[in-house]
Structure 1
Amino acid sequence: MADEHLTERQRAAKIRHELSQGNARAEAARAKVLIDEFIAAANEKGLAPRPLKATTLDGHVVKTDKVGWYLRTNHSVAIDTDGNYYSLVVPGGLKERLRGVKLTPTLAPLVIGRGGRDGETGDLKEFLDWTLNGTIPQD
């Protein structure tokens, strides 16, 4: 077995990591249901998706390869028209400022901003509702 060389502590850490990953995937599956419901409601309401922009770590706003809806007023997270969830704070330099960035989706959480210090935290459903009713600016 490949784990034979691991210490007891390393084995325990590996198990915790695997459990954490499983929990994150289960949470993302529940979040995906909420996101799919939002997309259907947005289409029904005529809330058009917009080209998404990201912010580099040094503060520059750059184009992305996705269209969708922002979920936070600071435009740091969004979903695209396929229901993928993105963090819109990205590394980048001059090349990204000129050409834009290609976003990679992350697992959607049920609580946005969990563990953050900026005060804008809450249930994913709340943020989706705020986006749908126009509380979260999209431009």
Structure 2
Amino acid sequence: MGEGDGRDWREQRQRAVRAHAAADERRRAAERAEAADLVAGFVAEAIRRGLRPTPLVAGSYSGGGRYRTGLTGWYVDRAATRAVDVEGRFYLLTVPGGLRARLFGATPRPHPAPLIVGEGGRDGDSVPLRELLSRRLDAGDDWP
């Protein structure tokens, strides 16, 4: 095997790695778009059904406190750790917490909604986003 053969192999391998990464990014982008559509549909349906949005609060990472957020929307899980605001943004409602958050409130950042909520978590409790949002709609205003 000559020096040129090794270089050709490395170049082919690098092209394959780049192609794989590009395909993976296209798949993730398609999943993000699908999840965003589900969340937007949820907001439209919640408004159509007359579900009242509520002020959302966030919990600390340590579980030691609850903090105002300035957000209004709907919790989508019973633990009130995931929510959708009235603008159709998905939130994980956990924040660092602390004195500043207690005094002035917390500012959670929106996250891209996952198609499978809880996927990869330690407890193995994952649920498709479509099902989670459907459960929330079916519960109406009888939700924590």
Residue pair 2:35, 2:129 contacting (<8 A) in 1 also: yes
1:105-120, aligned counterparts within 5 Å? 105-120=110-125
**Cα distance in structure 2, aligned partners of 1:55 and 1:105:** 15
Residue pair 2:51, 2:140 contacting (<8 A) in 1 also: no
What code does the residue aligned with 1:23 have? R
Q: Structure 2 unaligned segments of length 5 or more: list them.
A: 1-10
**Cα distance in structure 1, aligned partners of 2:49 and 2:140:** 15
Q: Where does residue 48 of structure 2 map in the other structure?
A: 44
Q: CA deviation at 1:34?
A: 1.1
Deviations 1:76-110 (A, max 9, x none): 11111111111111112111112111121111111
Instruction: State the Cα RMSD in Å.
Output: 2.7
Q: Where does residue 128 of structure 2 map in the other structure?
A: 123
Q: Secondary structure at the match of 1:133?
A: helix
Residue pair 2:53, 2:73 contacting (<8 A) in 1 also: yes
Q: Does 2:79 match 1:63? A: no
Residue pair 1:71, 1:136 contacting (<8 A) in 2 also: no
**Cα distance in structure 2, aligned partners of 1:18 and 1:94:** 43
Q: Where does residue 33 of structure 1 map in the other structure?
A: 37
Q: Number of residue pairs matched?
A: 133
Overall identity of the aligned pairs, in %: 38
**Cα distance in structure 2, aligned partners of 1:26 and 1:38:** 18
Q: Where does residue 5 of structure 1 map in the other structure?
A: none
TM-score, normalising length from structure 2?
A: 0.77
